[in-house]
Amino acid sequence: MPALELPDATIVYRTAGTRGPRVLLVQGVGSVGEGWRPQIEALRADHQLVWFDNRGVGESSDSGDPLTMEQMGADCVALLDHLGWERAHIAGHSMGGMIVQEAAALAPERFISLSLLSTARRGRQVLALPPRALWPALMMRFGGDERRWRHFTALAFPPEFLREIGKDRAVELLRGAFVENFVRMPLCVRRQMAAMWRHRGADLDRARSIPTLIITGSHDLTVNTRFSDELRAALPAARLERFTDAAHALPLQYPAAVSRLLRQHFADA
């Protein structure tokens, strides 16, 4: 697999598409780049895509030192340099959206547009789960892996969607998007969560002029939808799209609709 070699990390990435707008896709806590697979398949025919495993996660590695969101934002800019991409669109889901904000604060001139999905302004905001999320989060700590994954589905998808597709299918979707032992909170996940706890929010003043799309689900138990409203307030020119019946794993729950929104946003920008 191709890799970006940095002094303190090796970032393994993949690409698809040979023509059209250039797009960098960034994932969140415990997720691997393949979590974007539905959007990759929808966009690869007429977009140039790159996605990667964040440092210390999946196939990427690092020094083991404490992570910071600013550092991971710098990784995005370094990847553009490595690819020879002067400018690109950038999209981030969950913690990936915070990484995108840091990348835009660091080098706003490198980004044609921002897409911020199921995310927040500050990492610490999302670590205090609402009461409805406490039970499935607690039950994820007990039993075998399959049982833990099934409890995780309640944090990722709304009840109606789970009834529609069944928990077995929901687990299959999530396993494809996360590191193998995610439900046991491995060290790589704990390091990312610690980085979120320290994250106070990017300085978005220089990013205000970048066309921005914010996407959120009203039933998100992991990153409350109100944090998208706060992002919208910080980026007054941003467009906010709210899915009234979606939860945190919105790109997996509504792959076609999310891909359409991204495609249109890239074209408009």
CB 12 within 8 A of CB 59: yes
State the pTM of this model.
Answer: 0.97
Name the residue with tokens 């009461």. Answer: 131
pLDDT for res 131: 84
Q: What is the dihedral of CA 27, 110, 229, 244, to 10 degrees?
A: -50
User: pLDDT value at position 125?
Assistant: 86
Domain that holds residue 38: 3-268
43: CATH: 3.40.50.1820
Q: Which residue has the tokens 């969950």?
A: 94
Among candidates 64, 75, 60, 73, which has minimal Cα distance to 30?
A: 60
pLDDT digits (tens), the chain, 269 positions: 899 999 999 999 999 999 999 999 999 999 999 999 999 999 999 999 999 999 999 999 999 999 999 999 999 999 999 999 999 999 999 999 999 999 999 999 999 999 999 999 999 888 888 888 888 888 888 999 999 999 999 999 999 999 999 999 999 999 999 999 999 999 999 999 999 999 999 999 999 999 999 999 999 999 999 999 999 999 988 999 999 999 999 999 999 999 999 999 999 99
What's the structural domain count of the chain?
A: 1
- The count of other CB atoms within 10 Å of the CB of residue 140 is 20
